[in-house]
Structure 1
Amino acid sequence: MPAVAASFPASLVLAGAGKMGGAMLRGWLDAGLDPATLAVIDPNAGADLASLAAERGFSLNGAAAAPEVLVLAIKPQALDEATALAALATPQTLVISILAGKSIADVKKRLPGAGAIVRAMPNLPASVGRGMTGLKAGAGLTETQKKATEALIGATGGFEWVEDERLIDAVTAISGSGPAYVFYLAECLAKAGEALGLSPPVAARLARATVEGAGELLFQSADKTPAQLRESVTSPGGTTAAALEVLMAADGLEPLARRAAEAARRRAQALSG
């Protein structure tokens, strides 16, 4: 049995199996979670989810007992209406919430019986097993519950624990929203290629493949920093150096990225408030 599967909880309820909840669900099953230990609650379940339940053997919208772990992946605005979930959160239950803008205190207020709560901020690449999730532990988290959290979240990619819940807003600004920044970079590169005379399809393919390849190289080069990789492809006086002179100017990409991240953090703080 894989090490990650060995730390999976003995019973698990997933509330909400939309885009992110569904990605997590598939990651757990692929990592070896026993379907017999899993119950999914999703009143809006589509044919694909029903088919997956029938194929893999987990419970879908059946009667669910209070589990060892309850994962909240419903829409944040639905938390106030999810009164039925309160009965599933007992003092022995760990609640993992991926609800954007909902604090640990918000979840505790709606699920007062929960024994421990972990707030998580995943991102879209979790759907392909390459996600990055920020985690903040609430009071009373046991070592066993921490391992269960890491097993469940680790099945969809990497994770980082933060000490201060306010830092979840920073996580949101960097990794939570970050994939959109990268997708936009690919858009901008394609448009720059068009401006240089390339046809739109060729420019789009070049930009997309470049971002994909650079990302994979970054992933496979854990022993090197992004700066080292950048320097390895930058010849003094060459074409890359000429472009980087623009991107690394005082008003270039770094200050722009900081302003973008700060705007995202402010919005996250406003949604949390």
Structure 2
Amino acid sequence: MTAPAAPATPSADRHARGLALLHEVAGPEGAGVLDGLAGIAPDLARLTVEFGYGDVYARPGLTLAQRQLVNVAALTALGTAAPQLRFHIDGALNVGVEPPAIVETVLHTAVYAGFPAALNGIAVAKAAFAARPGLDFTPVRSEADGEETLRERHERGLAALERVDGEAGERVVASLADIAPALADHIVDFAFADVYSRSALDLKTRELATVAACTALGTAGPQLRVHLHGLLNVGGTRQEAVETITQMAVYAGFPAALNGIAAAREVFAERDAAGRTGE
């Protein structure tokens, strides 16, 4: 007589839930990336499944597509995890993210982590796309209006800055006037007129990516606060902000996530004090 199956333990539930999500993101073959740990650190493989996917990815608040794009942003910004970036670019494709959105997310990080990080990220994306012969990808080229003057470009950047970051962003630009006005101009002209104004990503996705990158970098607390305001200004929610920062515990470590949550607490309190409680 066959003995009845033992009731599932919480750990077994977490593992099963995590493994199902890992397969959804990585596919049957991609999930085999953990097999190489069996001979040296099998518990690391188990913890990756149970915590990274069973605990964190399974939470509500972000879609799988959003989770993959914030990972792409964070891992590009960190610049130290090309294999994991490749894994999550593949995962983004698997859950329905279109290639232009992946490219744009990597491009966006040039503002926050520099051009070398973005260039290396694009190289990883290029390899991921090339490995899928049937992938339909046409690069998005945003041609500058040849009739636009430098002043018009600057005004367009100022309008984007106000729309996204509002008073917090304007304070940053104003604070540079007495020491580095050219840097203030570059923020407006490049970051906002050239990058934020591109159409391949909506503003909310850009701000989610920025929150992820600034949290993961761990060196951009003031900028993280500005862009937490920005995320809420463009339709993001507090839950989405907290979920993005929480996910960074998996990819950048708990200290980075804890510092990010401290920044979010300050931003939420500031908005509450100003009566901006609708997000």
Give the TM-score, by structure 1 length: 0.29
Which structure's residues are more often strand, by fraction?
A: 1
Q: Which protein shows a greater Rg?
A: 1
The higher-RCO structure (CA 8 Å, 6+ apart) is 2
Give the TM-score, by structure 2 length: 0.29
Which structure's residues are more often helix, by fraction?
A: 2
